[in-house]
Amino acid sequence: MVSYMVSFTWGKESTKLSQIEKLFKKLSRRPTPTDVLFDDVDKLLKAYNFNSRQPSGGGSHYTYTHPDLQDILTIAKSGNRIKAPYVRIAIGAIAKLLDLYGGKEKWVKIICIE
């Protein structure tokens, strides 16, 4: 029998599900918020197990991939913020991931335990 444990960590910090849920709800609002920090979107995507690749040579476009999605996200950083269309792209990718897992729970960094 296989069961699943959900882990909410990035770096050395640990985050509660409620913080991730609040951030997801904040960024999912309509109209899309325009005062979104890049670090918030980065944190949210990493919490949902997206892998990031920083631009080489000082560029502003960060690339995110997820092992269960074919999509490649490109998020442009504008200062320390990102523009609304990129927020919608990130939320859309997370929504696809939740649909893939049935949308019943907020799956974050799924670890298989046998």
Write out the DSSP string of the chain: --EEEE--EETTEE--HHHHHHHHHHHH-SSPPS--BHHHHHHHHHHTT-EEEPPGGG-SEEEEE-TT---EEEEE-BTTB--HHHHHHHHHHHHHHHHHTTTSS---SEEEE-
- The model's pTM is 0.73
Residue 78 pLDDT = 84
Split at pLDDT 50, 70, 90, the class of 32 is: confident
What is the domain count for the chain?
A: 1
Of the candidate ranges 20-29, 39-48, 96-105, the one whose mean pLDDT is the lowest: 96-105
Q: What are phi and psi of 78, to 5 degrees?
A: -120, 95
Split at pLDDT 50, 70, 90, the class of 64 is: very high
Expressed as residue numbers, the domain containing 58 is: 3-113
